[in-house]
């Protein structure tokens, strides 16, 4: 479904808007004439983002997507101030990294709750405000990890694969209501949250996109009514190979993992596995 108009004048809610891709999406949307509600756990970060936006009427609203009361307060506030939401952007996320054996229960639970449970629940809670708009859209920020699952990011890959499936099913479910759904799958992005992964950049052949480039590409595709958004480059080909010839991807990724292990003792007892961060990232295999 193509948007009836570009972003100008649209009322857009972006979660995880205090930094990284969320902040870049907000800045780009405001440049295109949208009014933005910035949501996230850190109010000061949201206010810093709001200060960077052009235009008036932007909101900064504290939100923990994993908490029922927090989502309810957000819905009430947006209903009072706006009355409807044209675009919901589910961007908030957390990225546990490292060998699965070294991840805590808290890390696993936070990833599932924030990356998957939160977006599903928030979308459900905001359906009345989306239905009140004329041609609303939900944009879910996933990751190429959801297409090409990677070692050391098994939990993150699982949550992003789930978000992709949710997006596809929801698009089919909401079409009769006039609400469109877009799934965006960026690759690795140059944010502060990506800094813990720098040591894996060489062995895994990582490249990073600037957040503003990701935001520009996402909004260009959203304005054209895209159902799915992928980065420019070889990643869509790798995703196709993952579906059709997964053992080719297995072999390529195994070689990368061996290179990473030679640089960093990833599986050694007591090895530093605190590869924690937020946002969307992907490491395209080199085959």
Catalytic residues: 156
90 within 8 A of 130, measured Cβ to Cβ = no
CA distance 179 to 146: 23
Q: Hey, is 122 helix, strand or coil? A: helix
238 within 8 A of 285, measured Cβ to Cβ = yes
CA distance 176 to 82: 24
Q: Which residues contact 102 (CB under 8 A, 6 or more apart)?
A: 271, 273
Beta-strand pair 228-229/137-141: unpaired
39: closest CA among 62, 67, 65, 70?
A: 62
Helix (H) or strand (E) holding 7: none
Which residue's structure tokens are 């596995």?
273
Task: Measure Cα distances from 200 to 45, 129, 148, 259 in Å.
Answer: 28, 42, 17, 9
CA distance 201 to 208: 9
């Amino acid at each position: 479904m193509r948007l009836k108009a570009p972003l100008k004048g649209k009322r857009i809610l972006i979660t995880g808007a205090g930094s990284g891709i969320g902040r870049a999406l907000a800045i780009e949307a405001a440049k295109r004439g949208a009014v933005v509600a910035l949501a996230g756990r850190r109010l000061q970060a949201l206010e810093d983002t709001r200060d960077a936006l052009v235009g008036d009427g932007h909101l900064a609203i504290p939100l923990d997507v994993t908490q029922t009361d927090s989502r309810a307060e957000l819905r009430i506030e947006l209903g009072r101030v706006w009355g409807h939401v044209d675009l919901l952007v589910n961007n908030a996320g957390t990225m546990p990294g490292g060998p699965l054996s070294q991840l805590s229960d808290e890390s696993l639970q936070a990833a599932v709750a924030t990356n998957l449970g939160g977006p599903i629940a928030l979308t459900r809670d905001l359906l009345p405000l989306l239905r009140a708009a004329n041609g609303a859209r939900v944009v879910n920020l996933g990751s190429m990890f959801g297409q090409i699952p990677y070692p050391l990011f098994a939990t993150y890959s699982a949550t992003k694969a789930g978000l992709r499936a949710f997006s596809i099913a929801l698009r089919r479910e909401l079409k009769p209501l006039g609400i469109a759904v877009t799934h965006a799958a960026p690759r690795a992005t140059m944010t502060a949250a990506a800094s813990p992964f720098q040591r894996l950049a060489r062995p895994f052949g990582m490249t990073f996109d600037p957040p503003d480039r990701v935001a520009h590409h996402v909004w260009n595709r959203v304005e054209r009514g895209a159902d799915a958004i992928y980065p420019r480059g070889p990643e869509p080909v790798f995703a196709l190979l993952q579906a059709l010839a997964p053992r080719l991807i297995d072999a390529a990724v195994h070689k990368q993992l061996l290179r990473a292990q030679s640089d960093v003792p990833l599986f050694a007892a007591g090895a530093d596995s605190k590869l924690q961060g937020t946002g969307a990232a992907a490491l395209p295999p080199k085959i």
